[in-house]
């Protein structure tokens, strides 16, 4: 790869590599390595394996230290969402990572630059390369920057966060009972309904939520109930 290509990706990442060979390795697919043994000393699967572990640890650490004090099951579900292939490939596409890949002719011909699995693997390899080049702190900074929008979405809504499971675990622990949900109102036209849900613990109302589905309304009611319990 020419230096200007590396510099372009570094600008998108917000990180400049001290060892440029690491980022080149992270962008090298095994197909390129096998077809061009004179142009590649390694391919990215080792860095991908490392990056997967670094990413998982950073996400779990961030969830553990978050003020909401999420339960183990909620942290597990949230982590699984954040590190799944579709999310990783979205982040890779936002970085235009596909255009920087070193691919063999076969992968190039079959649209390798836009394959979700390949892009997801490559972003993990890039994270592994940053970890080796700059250490844990730099890797963590990059991961939290790249995943900020996704993390904010999870913390700001119940769409991907299992607040109902967390509330049930809390109520079983604190009161030896489970929460009761009631849909108290449905408003709007058939295809634009808004549901209102309330959640009760031992007969006392702990939260209210509104949503476009019963599930969303109950989830947001659970979120409010969790906030009340924490207070």
HSE of 118, CA atoms in CB hemisphere, 13 A: 23
Catalytic residue among 107, 124, 133, 218: 124
CA distance 64 to 45: 29
Residues recorded for the chain = 231
SS3 assignment, position 225? helix
Active site residue 190: no
Under a CB-based contact definition with an 8 Å cutoff, are residues 5 and 112 in contact?
A: no
Active site residue 124: yes
**How many C-beta atoms lie closer than 10 Å to residue 3's C-beta?**
8
Q: Which residues of 53-86 are buried (b: 16+ CB within 10 A; e: fewer)?
A: ebbebbbbebbeeeeeebbeebbebbbebbbeee
Structure token pair of residue 210: 């509104």
Catalytic residue among 25, 48, 52, 107: 52
**How many C-beta atoms lie closer than 10 Å to residue 126's C-beta?**
29
Question: Measured between alpha carbons, how far is residue 65 from residues 32, 68, 69, 71, 171 in Å?
Answer: 41, 8, 7, 12, 22
Structure token pair of residue 14: 């917000």
Residue positions annotated with a catalytic role: 52, 124
């Amino acid at each position: 790869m020419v230096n200007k290509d590396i510099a372009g990706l570094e600008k998108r990442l917000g990180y400049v590599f001290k060892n440029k060979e690491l980022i080149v390795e992270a962008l090298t697919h095994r197909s390129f390595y096998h077809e061009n043994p004179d142009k590649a000393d390694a391919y990215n699967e080792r860095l991908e394996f490392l990056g997967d572990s670094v990413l998982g640890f950073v996400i779990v650490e961030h969830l553990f230290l978050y003020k909401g004090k999420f339960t183990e099951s909620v942290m597990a579900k949230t982590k699984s969402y954040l590190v799944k292939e579709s999310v990783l490939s979205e982040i890779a596409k936002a970085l235009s990572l596909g255009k920087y890949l070193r691919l063999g002719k076969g992968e190039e011909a079959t649209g390798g630059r836009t394959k979700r699995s390949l892009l997801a693997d490559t972003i993990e390899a890039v994270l592994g390369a940053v970890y080796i080049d700059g250490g844990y702190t730099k890797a963590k900074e990059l991961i939290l920057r790249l995943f900020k929008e996704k993390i904010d979405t999870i913390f700001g809504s119940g769409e991907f966060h299992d607040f109902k499971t967390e509330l049930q675990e809390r109520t079983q622990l604190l009161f030896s009972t489970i929460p009761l949900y009631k849909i108290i109102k449905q408003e709007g036209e058939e295809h634009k309904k808004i549901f209102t849900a309330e959640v009760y613990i031992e007969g006392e109302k702990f939260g209210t939520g509104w949503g476009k589905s019963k599930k969303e309304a109950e989830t947001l009611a659970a979120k409010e109930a969790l906030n009340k319990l924490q207070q």
